[in-house]
């Protein structure tokens, strides 16, 4: 019953904006209005087009995957690494490699994104999916088909009419495609394509197309992602950046987390001086229902390392991606 649904498209548990929204109104109508205003401000703010959404303190992950090392410790170590990097870029690179080697490539427990099994959040179900036999895969498809048939009946359709006969199967296959990122992991994607180039200038990949599925409504959100980083000697194969973005996008997502996961993953595998990710997208759950504002765009950003610390670096990135022009 979408009419009385008090949750807004952007109503995410980790967001302070929507948290405030929830507290201040139990009424669906006013909540929707507030959502609209928030998003308009995000899209059209005159001085800053990008708002930091650092309020999402918890990565959306399976509780069973919580790393043992505390977040604070993790942050302190990362900051230390980056500061060392500024003092002596060459030597920290050696240190960083030595550390990674000692810990083993797959056991970086301080990573908020890459779990030791390399599949990231939520790893229990995704591992089952990755390792299933053809029979199990067929059984999984059958279960989805049954659910879609039920759904068709519940909306008042006749699943046996000609046009809908193959729909459950088509949808099941499409859904598995939309979520195929659960079967990939960052380390396989990077596949050693990290090169010691002695390069330390900003690298930007603009306008990466993103097609993801909102985990709150299971409808798509689409947009563009801009990814930048400043190397610490090592550069990553340029095609790997869109592929990392694609992997996280092909999971059930919220835009805020998607932005953060891409930035964190690049930071983890490359250990650069900094990573910046900005994403603009349009959410069908907002456009087709709820507030029905077809032109609103949601912008999220995640700045790590020198992008977070230095205004100049951040502003250079923002002017180069020229968020406002598209």
CA 247/CA 279 separation, integer angstroms: 15
CA 203/CA 307 separation, integer angstroms: 12
The binder of Zn ion chosen from 10, 32, 216, 314 (CB under 5 A): 216
Nearer Cβ to Zn ion (175/204): 175
Token readout for 215 is: 């985990």
* Least gap, CB of 101 to Zn ion (angstroms): 42
257 binds Zn ion (CB under 5 A): no
Helices 28-44, 16-24: inter-axial angle, 10-degree rounding: 150
Distance of CA 259 to the CA centre of its chain: 4
306 binds Zn ion (CB under 5 A): no
Site size with Zn ion, rule: CB under 5 A: 5
Radius of gyration in angstroms for the set of CA atoms belonging to the chain, rounded to a whole number: 21
* Least gap, CB of 223 to Zn ion (angstroms): 14
Nearer Cβ to Zn ion (290/305): 290
The binder of Zn ion chosen from 244, 285, 306, 321 (CB under 5 A): 285
The residue whose two tokens read 């920290």 is: 92
Nearer Cβ to Zn ion (39/273): 39
Closest to 19 (Cα-Cα) out of 52, 43, 49, 55? 55
- The 176-215 contact track toward Zn ion, x by CB under 5 A, reads --------------------------------------x-
Nearer Cβ to Zn ion (106/288): 288
Closest to 35 (Cα-Cα) out of 278, 296, 300? 296
* Least gap, CB of 20 to Zn ion (angstroms): 19
* Beta-bridge partner residues of 52: 301
* Least gap, CB of 217 to Zn ion (angstroms): 4
Region of 1-9, 44-52, 76-84, 122-130 interacting with Zn ion (CB under 5 A): 1-9
**Does residue 284 contact residue 221 with C-beta atoms inside 8 Å?**
yes
CA 252/CA 218 separation, integer angstroms: 8
The residue whose two tokens read 């990008």 is: 50
* Least gap, CB of 82 to Zn ion (angstroms): 35
The binder of Zn ion chosen from 217, 226, 240, 251 (CB under 5 A): 217
Half-sphere CA count of 78, side-chain side, radius 13 A: 26
Region of 22-30, 198-206, 241-249, 281-289 interacting with Zn ion (CB under 5 A): 281-289
Give the three-class secondary structure for 204: strand
Region of 71-79, 113-121, 153-161, 283-291 interacting with Zn ion (CB under 5 A): 283-291
Q: Which residues bind Zn ion (CB under 5 A)?
A: 9, 214, 216-217, 285
């Amino acid at each position: 019953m979408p009419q009385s649904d008090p949750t807004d498209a952007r109503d995410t548990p980790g967001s302070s904006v929507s948290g405030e929204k929830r507290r201040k109104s139990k009424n669906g109508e006013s909540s929707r209005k507030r959502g609209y205003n928030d998003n308009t401000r995000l899209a059209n703010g005159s001085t800053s087009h990008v708002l930091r959404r650092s309020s999402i303190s918890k990565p959306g992950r399976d509780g069973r995957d919580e790393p043992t090392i505390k977040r604070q410790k993790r942050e302190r170590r990362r900051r230390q690494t980056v500061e060392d990097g500024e003092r002596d870029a060459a030597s920290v690179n050696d240190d960083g490699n030595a550390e990674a080697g000692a810990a083993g490539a797959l056991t970086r427990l301080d990573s908020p994104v890459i779990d030791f099994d390399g599949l990231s959040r939520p790893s229990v179900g995704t591992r089952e999916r990755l390792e299933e036999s053809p029979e199990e895969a067929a059984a999984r498809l059958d279960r989805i088909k049954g659910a879609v048939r039920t759904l068709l009946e519940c909306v008042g359709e006749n699943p046996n009419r000609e046009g809908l006969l193959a729909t459950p199967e088509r949808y099941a296959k499409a859904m598995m495609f939309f979520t195929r990122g659960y079967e990939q992991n960052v380390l396989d994607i990077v596949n050693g394509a990290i090169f010691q180039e002695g390069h330390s200038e900003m690298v930007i990949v603009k306008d990466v197309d993103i097609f993801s599925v909102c985990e709150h409504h299971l409808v798509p959100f689409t947009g563009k992602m801009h990814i930048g980083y400043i190397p610490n000697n090592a550069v990553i194969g340029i095609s790997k950046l869109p592929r990392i973005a694609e992997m996280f996008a092909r999971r059930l997502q919220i835009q805020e987390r998607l932005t953060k996961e891409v930035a964190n993953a690049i930071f983890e595998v490359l250990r650069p001086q900094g990573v910046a990710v900005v994403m603009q997208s349009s959410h069908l759950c907002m456009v087709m229902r709820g507030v029905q504002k077809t032109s609103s765009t949601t912008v999220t950003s995640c700045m790590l390392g020198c992008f977070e610390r230095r205004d100049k670096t951040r502003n250079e990135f923002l002017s180069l991606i020229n968020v406002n022009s598209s």
